[in-house]
Structure 1
């Protein structure tokens, strides 16, 4: 694609996926405006360290603010007239959504409505937005296909992500807003979120604390390495918006297409850390699902990409980053 004159907006640019995507865009010569409220859901020092890397790159502008602030968003869209918006900002976390539902309504529904309204008003050429594998709930058919019904979410977080897809489709239908939804499957890797299993397990193992394993380890996750996720987003962005007479809207699964047993995941982490750990086996937690497994046939068909990084290689890269990052923080 020909690079746009105006910058791309990446919301949630200090977050895990937002940071990696922004860096890739900048490395390829795109201009990026990053928006993030740097909330305290997890250690903001990690977000600030990510941002420091981005700020040292030409063509990056950072704005601290929330997507719930419509006035701020309108001023940014007016100033920059973004051709492409990659909307990754959201209140994340399945279990946290059971304790703080209002936070999810504000960020994931009110904030997303603000993004849609601005994209409509300023005639954005392509909106790419984050959804989640959690929309599949306890879907019994595997692999999970974008053709499957996703009407039975098992967490507030999942419900808000399903709502985002419906809202985006409606705006596409009513206002011809080109939009691509991306259902991410358990993304992991360097600079990852501290509330995710890989991070919490690594921290516990290094500090010789037991790890808590839910559903007695009888779970499978389609762990997807961050570089594979970013490559998929970049290809979708360069491919351009969906073309559909009814509504220029399409959803893709972005996963590894190879679910891994949680116990094997832990064993691989122990191997690369060079330490064993004590496991505390616990029952299933509310909001959790037994298995996730992405059917990525549509993604492969449309952008000709299949994930490249194995779970062994991905965990190895994470451990290298994790031990170096926290060694330097001591």
Structure 2
């Protein structure tokens, strides 16, 4: 049987696909190869995946909605789906709001409709985000907390995904699990993330914009821990019974909230470059701190993050230098 991975040319999508392939699964990846960031990086990720005989790729744009469902239906033997395709980025959503409803809402609906028509679907795992917690001040963030006050459109679309998923689990009995990712980083990462932009600016001698004047914390989560967690969740679908829909939400993070300036100092040690800090006010749509309560995912599937920021950042730096050398 085969696993469908949407957003396979993305950062998390590539690593999840590779982990599945290493585990002996057949993977069909789809992606629209959007120009949100460097398409050459996405192509390079696909080149890595194409080294596996059990990987195949289709360029499809889920934001086309209902019209894309027949194309998805042509993919044979799908038993599990990992939906990671999304328009990411809190700040970008302030300037390009329609991109988010088309990709994150319409695109997710296309996947739900596709999965509704599959005869042998065992589990659909989809990407949510820690951004849904919005301005919550109770830490660590728990899946039991209310997430009804998003502070960005990106977060609102991810909350919409969770609501849509529950309705399809309830109506059609589709086993669905949403994962709220917390600040994922590592090799083959996204160029719009702080750890990447900071690395570039430090190597070029440019100042680093430090928002909220450094009073920021993030639950930085290394990509290998994320991929391992996704596979563990995928293998354990929620049970369909008369008491509740087969639906769950988990936080997936490192369960460690690190000051932003710890990221800077770790990069300084890895790059052997002193950072020039430019203190800035808080940005619209941003939050001061994220911190994941991972007890439910740890209890249910044995998820246990193993990589600290001090271990993970040097691995990213090593990859970054190698990648830039071409």
Normalising by structure 1, what TM-score? 0.96
**Unpaired stretches in structure 2, ≥5 consecutive residues:** none
In the aligned structure 1, how far is the partner of 2:73 from the partner of 2:118? 7
Q: Which among 3, 6, 10 is matched to residue 8 of structure 1?
A: 3
Matching residue of 1:326: 324
> RMSD of aligned C-alpha atoms?
1.1
Residue of structure 1 aligned with 2:71, choices 71, 75, 88: 75
Give the superposition deviation at 1:244: 4.6
Query: Cα deviation per residue 1:218-255 (whole Å; 9 max; x = unaligned)?
Result: 00000000000001001111223344532000000000
Distance in 2 between the 1:242 and 1:21 partners? Answer: 23
Q: Is the 8 A contact 2:173 2:240 kept in 1?
A: no
Aligned residues: 323
Q: 1:35 — aligned with what?
A: 30
The answer on 1:148 being equivalent to 2:136 is no
3-state secondary structure, aligned to 2:284: coil
SS at match of 2:124: strand
Q: How far did 1:140 drift?
A: 0.7
Aligned-residue offset at 1:29:
1.2
Kept in 2, the 8 Å contact 1:26–1:58? The answer is: no
Q: Name which of 108, 114, 118 aligns with 2:114.
A: 118
Give the corresponding residue for 2:211: 214
Once the 2 structures are TM-superposed, how far is the Cα of residue 79 of structure 1 from its aligned partner?
3.4
Indicate which of 219, 222, 227 corresponds to 1:225. 222
Q: Does 1:19 align with 2:14?
A: yes
Paired position in structure 2 for 1:292: 290
Does structure 1 residue 182 correspond to structure 2 residue 184? Answer: no
Structure 1: tracts of 5 or more residues without a match: none
1:55 equivalent in structure 2 = 50
Q: Report the Cα distance in structure 2 between the residues aligned to 1:319 and 1:162, rounded to whole angstroms.
A: 33
- Runs of 4+ displaced beyond 6 Å: none
Q: Hey, what does 1:270 align to over in structure 2?
A: 268
Give how far 1:81 is off.
Answer: 4.1
Distance 1:242 1:42, change over 3 A: farther
Q: How does 1:127-166 map to 2 (within 5 A)?
A: 127-166=124-163
The residue correspondences of 1:302-317 to structure 2 (distance < 5 A) are 302-317=300-315
**Structure 1: how far apart are the matches of 2:100 and 2:181?**
18
What does the per-residue CA deviation read over 1:78-113, in whole Å, with 9 as the maximum and x for residues that have no partner? 431411110000000000001000000000011111
Query: What is the TM-score with the length of structure 2 in the denominator?
Result: 0.97
Q: Do structure 1's residue 196 and structure 2's residue 179 form an aligned pair?
A: no
Between stretches 52-61 and 159-168, larger displacement belongs to 52-61
CA contact (8 A) 1:180 1:242 kept: no
The question of whether the paired residues in 2 share the 8 Å contact of 1:216 and 1:281 is answered with yes
Distance 2:135 2:199 in 1: 27
Give the distance between the partners of 2:204 and 2:31, measured in 1 at CA.
Answer: 31
Tell me if the contact between 2:7 and 2:29 (Cα under 8 Å) persists in the aligned partners: yes
Relative distance call for 1:135 and 1:168 in structure 2 (3 A) is: same
In structure 1, the residue corresponding to 2:63 is in which secondary structure? Answer: coil
Q: Indicate whether 1:281 and 2:276 are aligned.
A: no
